[in-house]
Amino acid sequence: ILVRLQRPGGEEQRDIVRGTKAAEFHNHIFEKVSPEMEKLGYECKCLGGGKIDHNSKDKKIRVFGLSTGYGKADHSVTVEILKKVYTDYEFTWSDDKK
């Protein structure tokens, strides 16, 4: 999921990407992330979801799909965030559902 963080009453925003194979649905991820971020003083808003196919062997990441509950995240934003961590990976993204 793509989550927007903001301090209450503040104007500065930061987007983060969170996901895990352990969560069956996107809301399970948000229900874990939101309280953790609120403890740090942030308000959270889920901007949408999708799927991430992470191939560590070939160093490739594909972002696609959408969340039934939250809608489609802006995958171009998700990819830009992931590129900061996975600097030597090849990325692709699409609006394809599979």
pLDDT at 22: 86
> How many independent structural domains does the chain possess?
1
Q: Locate tokens 């934003």: which residue?
A: 77
Q: Locate tokens 């895990």: which residue?
A: 20
Is 54 assigned a catalytic role? no
| DSSP code for 25 | S
Q: What is the pLDDT of residues 17-76, one digit of tens each?
A: 999 888 889 999 999 999 999 999 999 999 999 999 999 999 999 999 999 999 999 999
**For residues 1 and 29, is the Cβ–Cβ distance under 8 A?**
yes
Q: What is the CATH number of the domain that holds 70?
A: 3.50.20.20
DSSP E strand boundaries for the chain: 2-6, 13-17, 43-48, 51-55, 60-64, 90-93
What residues make up the domain containing 41?
Answer: 2-94
Given the residues 26, 28, 54, 75, select the one marked as catalytic: 26
pLDDT at 41: 96
